[in-house]
Amino acid sequence: MRNVTKDNITDVFASYFGEDTDPRVREVLVALARHIHDFAREVNLTHDEWRKGLEMLEHAGRITTPERNEFVLFSDVLGLSSLVDMMHSKPEATSSSVLGPFHVSNPPPLAIGGDMKRDFGGPVLLVDGQVRDVDGTPIGGATLDIWQTAPNGMYSSQDPDQDIHSFHGLMTTDNEGRFAFTTVRPVEYTVPADGPVGELLNAAGRHPWRPSHLHYICSAEGYRSLVTEVFPDDDPYLDQDTVFGVRDDLVMKYVEQPADSFPEGFELSGKVDEPYLKVTFDLILAKG
C-alpha cells in the first residue's frame, strides 16, 4: 500500500497479515494496533513523547533481571495485571490477584504447622484455613505455594541478606483440605521506584506503596490454579494499592491472642511467650 494515511494505517496494518496467520494472533495484534493508533491520534502524540515512551521501555529492558522484572511492574501499576486477573476469575471461587514480580520458584517444603518466621523479629502470626471447592467439599492434597515479605519490607529476591527461600514454603493440605503455619506479620512496602516505573508514578503524582499481604498459589488436580494474596483489614494502604490487587473477599482480620492459647501441633508450640496474631482464611477453588 503506497498511500498510507493517519486514517487508514490500521486497516493497512491488518491487510499485511499472511493467509496462514493463526486467527487468534491476528485478532490480538490487530486489536493492539487499533488501540495504539487510536491512542496516538486521541492525544496527538508528539515525537518527544513517543521517544520518551521508547526510552522507558529500553530502560526497563536494561534493569530487568530474573529477580526484578520491570515489565511486570509496568503491567501492575497500570492495572493491566489486575484487569486480566479479574476477567478470568470465577465469581464463585476466591478472587485471584496479582502474582507480582518477586515469586521464587522451587520453594522448600513446609509441613502443616511449620514455621517461616525463624529468627526474624516481629509478632508471630498463626495462619490456618481450608481449601474447598465451590460446593464446600474439602480438597485434600492441594498444594499451597506461600510467600511474603520479611519485616524489613523486602522479598528474599530483593535482599542479599536473606536466603533466597526466606519466607517461602510449599505446603500440602491434609485429607480435610486444611493448612496451617506460623510466620511474622507481613508489612506494607513500596514497589521498586528507582527505575522507569518510578518515573511513571512520580509523573502521575502516585505513591509506590502496597498494603501488606500473604501470597498464595493454590493448585489441585481437576481444579483451576488460584494465584492470589490476602490483606489485613487495618492496613493503611488497603484502599490505594498501587497495583490494584485488593478485592473485598481477600480482606481478612488479624486477631490478637494470649500466649497461653497457642495451640499444639505447631513447630512453635510451647515456644510462644507473648501475645500472637491469628487469622483463618479459606481458599475456594473452581473446577478446571
pLDDT digits (tens, 9 = 90+) for 4-13: 999 999 999 9
Q: What is the mean pLDDT of the chain?
A: 96
Return the H-helix or E-strand segment holding 47: helix 47-63
Confidence of residue 84 (pLDDT cuts 50, 70, 90): very high
**Residues 275, 248: Cα–Cα separation, whole Å:** 28
Q: Is the pLDDT of residue 100 over 90?
A: no
Confidence of residue 288 (pLDDT cuts 50, 70, 90): confident
HSE-up (13 A, CA, CB side) for residue 198: 8
Q: Is the pLDDT of residue 187 over 80?
A: yes
Mean pLDDT of 214-228: 97
**Residues 104, 166: Cα–Cα separation, whole Å:** 10
Position 82 scores a pLDDT of: 95
Strand order in the sheet with 168-172: 168-172, 143-147, 214-219, 226-232, 251-252
**CB-based contact 274:188 (threshold 8 Å):** no
pLDDT digits (tens, 9 = 90+) for 228-287: 999 999 999 999 999 999 999 999 999 999 999 999 999 999 999 999 999 999 999 999
Q: Which amino acid is at 276?
A: Y
Diameter of the chain measured on Cα atoms: 81
Q: Is the pLDDT of residue 101 over 80?
A: no
Give the three cell numbers for residue 168.
517461602
Buried b (16+ CB within 10 A) or exposed e, 164-180: ebbbbbbbebbeebebb
Position 68 scores a pLDDT of: 84
Confidence of residue 2 (pLDDT cuts 50, 70, 90): confident
Position 272 scores a pLDDT of: 97
Position 67 scores a pLDDT of: 78
pLDDT digits (tens, 9 = 90+) for 11-68: 999 999 999 999 999 999 999 999 999 999 999 999 999 999 999 999 999 999 887 8
User: Coil, helix or strand for 129?
Assistant: strand
Residue 42 Ramachandran class (φ > 0 left, ψ -120 to 50 alpha, else beta): alpha
Decide: pTM greater than 0.75. yes
pLDDT digits (tens, 9 = 90+) for 123-167: 999 999 999 999 999 999 999 999 999 999 999 988 999 999 999
User: Coil, helix or strand for 98?
Assistant: coil
Confidence of residue 212 (pLDDT cuts 50, 70, 90): very high
274 CB burial (10 A radius; 0-12, 13-18, 19+): exposed
Confidence of residue 102 (pLDDT cuts 50, 70, 90): confident
Mean pLDDT of 217-225: 97
Mean pLDDT of 187-216: 97
Return the H-helix or E-strand segment holding 133: strand 124-133
